[in-house]
């Protein structure tokens, strides 16, 4: 019988997956880690408090709103751990322990830290599956890490990972002087909008030669329907090489507060915590996140998700009524749609799509994203699902231009 603590897959170990200098790091410690009550003269904070104007009572809908945030102890450094937020995330995501969570300044910080813990600059490599989120490539370049690309299977807008090719590439790289140490799967994908089947992820996690991390970026998971998350591969199946990223930027509508989440084994989370800046999550961010994760916040969140799902169906139907929109590529699993623009013969027309993008932005002040230069996304505009009025407006303006 396999011991409960045996890694899964068996060849995986922190020593092989994480850079030596990172594993050897003694993390920054401060007196507040041990003592946080009494007269606090340990951290060179400002004893008089913040200098925000006190008369900041504002009127909102006829009510006075106190914007001085006096209850937040803004003159004090924030919690380095934010266990209260992690505790609420445990309930929301069915994860047993706060030690399975890392909090970053957006998922973008999590992505960068994942590079820094795994990839030796100029030596190790990362695998991505285009078309995909651009920050993986940007972070790779910043960290001097070569990108290996295995395109998604885009046939018929399937946008599915080519699992055999990925596994072959990982196995070959494992024999080379430049191993792949990190792999990003975006599910639901950006810009594909398409969920990756858990079986595909499992087939990559179980590659017997791969000694690096598999990262599943679930920024859009709240729009994919209940229970689609890869969290169950981590918690129920116990894959040690899996990191899942989520964020409050999308489903929770809190892009401005910058709160990204990594979910993994406590060992990998500890490594991320060791290298982060000590107080990366600010107190105002933490306070707003706690409100969003309160019972009232969660019911509003669920209501908003449902509205956006309804609007997504509406937008899809309306876009497809336009003769020049020849297809919606990918599955509708996120809060955007990829509308493919055609010519008069019904063939994808990249120039027309780009012209429409420019015209909408410059003349109509409706900004969508041109994705026609991405692999498998010829002539595509990525349209975020907005309010019903915004959906109507983008369809109207697109229809007028493409007529
Ligand atoms: C796939 C994907 N991951 C991560 C992010 C960034 O998330 P955050 O706002 O948490 O940095 C985005 C933002 O568009 C995204 O599309």
Helix axes 135-142, 106-118, angle to 10 degrees: 40
User: Which residues are within 8 A (CB) of 138 and not within 5 positions of it... i.e. 6 or more apart?
Assistant: none
In the block, tokens 């490594």 appear at: 271
* CA 185 / ligand 1 centre spacing (Å): 13
Which atom of ligand 1 lies at the shortest distance from residue 250's CA? Answer: 9
In the chain, the percentage of residues whose pLDDT exceeds 70 is 95
pLDDT at 226: 73
CA angle (214 as vertex; 88, 125 as ends), nearest 5 = 135
> With a 6 A CB cut-off, is 335 part of the ligand 1 pocket?
no
Is residue 67 over pLDDT 90?
no
Backbone angles phi, psi at 381, to 5 degrees: -110, 130
* Residues in CB range of 140: below 8 A, 6 or more apart: 115, 126, 146, 147
Residue reference for tokens 């920024």: 219
**pLDDT tens digit sequence for 217-230:** 999 999 998 789 99
Is the confidence at residue 120, as pLDDT, over 50?
Answer: yes
> pLDDT class for 2, splitting at 50, 70, 90?
very low
53 C-beta neighbours (distance < 10 Å), count: 8
DSSP string for residues in 251-292 = TT--GGG--EEEE--HHHHHHHHHHS-TT-S-HHHHHHHHHH
pLDDT at 31: 83
- Give the number of other CB atoms < 10 A from CB of residue 370: 21
> Between helices 106-118 and 266-275, what is the axis angle to 10°?
100
Q: Which tens digits make up the pLDDT trace of 28-55?
A: 888 888 888 899 999 999 999 999 887 6
Residue 204: which of 184, 232, 225 has the closest Cα? 184
Give the pLDDT score at 259: 98
Of 102, 110, 133, the one to substitute when testing ligand 1's pocket (max ligand atoms within 8 A of C-beta) is 133
pLDDT at 288: 97
Q: Which of the residue ranges 65-69, 78-82, 234-238 would you say has the lowest mean pLDDT?
A: 65-69
> Which residue ranges form the domains of the chain, and what is each CATH number?
76-293 (3.40.640.10), 298-402 (3.90.1150.10)
- Please say if the pLDDT value at position 297 is more than 90: yes
- Listed range (21-30, 158-167, 305-314) with the worst mean pLDDT: 21-30
Decide if pLDDT at 387 tops 60: yes
CA–centroid distance, residue 289 to ligand 1 (Å) = 17
Find out whether 184 and 132 touch, Cβ atoms under 8 Å. Answer: yes
Burial group, residue 62, by CB count within 10 angstroms (0-12, 13-18, 19+): exposed
Q: What pLDDT, in 10s, does the model give residues 306-331?
A: 999 999 999 999 999 999 999 999 99
Answer yes or no: is the C-beta of 106 below 6 A from any ligand 1 atom: yes
Whole-number pLDDT of residue 78: 94
pLDDT at 1 over 90: no
pLDDT of residue 164: 98
- Specify the pLDDT at position 194: 97
List CB contacts of 371: < 8 A, sequence separation 6 or more: 131, 191, 338, 377, 380, 381, 382
Q: Tell me what pLDDT residue 5 has.
A: 64
Residue 177 has pLDDT above 50, yes or no: yes
Q: Please give the distance, rounded to the nearest whole angstrom, from the Cα atom of residue 107 to the centre of ligand 1.
A: 6
Pocket test residue of 135, 261, 374 for ligand 1, highest count of atoms within 8 A of CB: 135
As a whole number, mean pLDDT of residues 202-216 equals 98
- Crossing angle of helices 388-402 and 350-362, in 10° steps, is 120
Cα–Cα distance measured from residue 358 to residue 365, given in angstroms and rounded to the nearest whole number: 10
278, with CB counted inside 10 A (0-12, 13-18, 19+), is middle
Q: What is the average pLDDT score of the chain?
A: 94
Residue nearest to atom 3 of ligand 1 (CA): 219
pLDDT in tens, 78-107: 999 999 999 999 999 999 999 999 999 999
Determine the atom of ligand 1 nearest the C-alpha atom of 260: 10
Say yes or no: CB of residue 311 within 6 Å of ligand 1: no
Is 261's C-beta closer than 6 angstroms to any atom of ligand 1?
A: no
Q: What is the pLDDT of residue 239?
A: 98
CB 342 within 8 A of CB 379: yes
In tens, the pLDDT along 3-13 reads: 456 789 999 99
**pLDDT (average), residues 378-399:** 98
Please tell me the distance between residue 255's alpha carbon and the centre of ligand 1 in angstroms. Answer: 9
CB 371 within 8 A of CB 191: yes
Distance from residue 56's CA to the centre of ligand 1 (Å): 33
Q: Please give the average per-residue pLDDT across 59-83, as a whole number.
A: 78
Q: Could you tell me the pLDDT band of residue 58, with boundaries at 50, 70 and 90?
A: low
Over 90: is that where the pLDDT of 62 sits? no
Q: Name the band, by pLDDT with cuts 50, 70 and 90, for residue 350.
A: very high
């Amino acid at each position: 019988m396999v011991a409960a603590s045996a890694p899964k897959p068996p060849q995986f170990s922190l020593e092989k997956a994480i850079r030596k200098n990172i594993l050897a790091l003694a993390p920054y410690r401060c007196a507040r880690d041990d003592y946080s009550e009494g007269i606090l003269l340990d951290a060179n904070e400002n004893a008089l408090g913040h200098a925000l104007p006190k008369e900041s009572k504002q009127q909102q809908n006829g009510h006075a709103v106190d914007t001085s945030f006096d209850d937040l102890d803004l003159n004090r450094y924030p919690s380095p751990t934010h266990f209260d937020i992690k505790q609420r995330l445990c309930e929301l995501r069915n994860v047993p322990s706060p030690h399975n969570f890392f909090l970053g300044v957006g998922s973008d910080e999590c992505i960068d830290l994942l590079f820094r813990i795994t990839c030796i600059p100029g030596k190790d490599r990362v695998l991505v599956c285009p078309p995909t989120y651009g920050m993986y490539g940007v972070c790779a370049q910043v960290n001097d890490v070569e990108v290996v690309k295995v395109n998604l299977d885009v046939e018929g807008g399937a946008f599915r990972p080519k699992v055999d090719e990925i596994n072959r590439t990982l196995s070959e790289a494992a024999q080379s002087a430049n191993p792949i140490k990190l792999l990003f799967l975006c599910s639901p994908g950006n810009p594909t909008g398409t969920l990756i089947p858990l079986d595909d992820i499992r087939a990559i996690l179980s590659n017997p030669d791969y000694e690096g991390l598999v990262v599943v970026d679930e920024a859009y998971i709240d729009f994919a329907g209940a229970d689609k998350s890869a969290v169950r591969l981590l918690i129920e199946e116990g894959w040690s090489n899996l990191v899942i990223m989520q964020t409050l930027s999308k489903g929770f509508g809190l892009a401005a507060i910058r709160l990204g989440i990594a979910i993994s084994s406590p060992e990998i989370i500890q490594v991320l915590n060791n290298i982060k800046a000590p107080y990366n999550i600010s107190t105002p961010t933490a306070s707003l996140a706690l409100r969003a994760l309160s019972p009232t916040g969660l019911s509003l969140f669920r209501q908003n998700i449902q509205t956006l799902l309804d609007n997504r169906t509406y937008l899809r139907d309306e876009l497809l009524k336009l003769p020049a929109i020849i297809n919606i590529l990918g599955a509708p699993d996120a809060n955007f749609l990829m509308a493919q623009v055609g010519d008069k013969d019904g063939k994808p027309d990249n120039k027309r799509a780009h012209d429409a993008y420019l015209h909408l932005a410059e003349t109509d002040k409706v900004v969508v994203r041109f994705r026609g230069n991405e692999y498998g996304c010829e002539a595509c505009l990525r349209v975020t699902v907005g309010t019903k009025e915004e959906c109507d407006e983008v369809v109207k303006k697109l229809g007028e231009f493409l007529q």
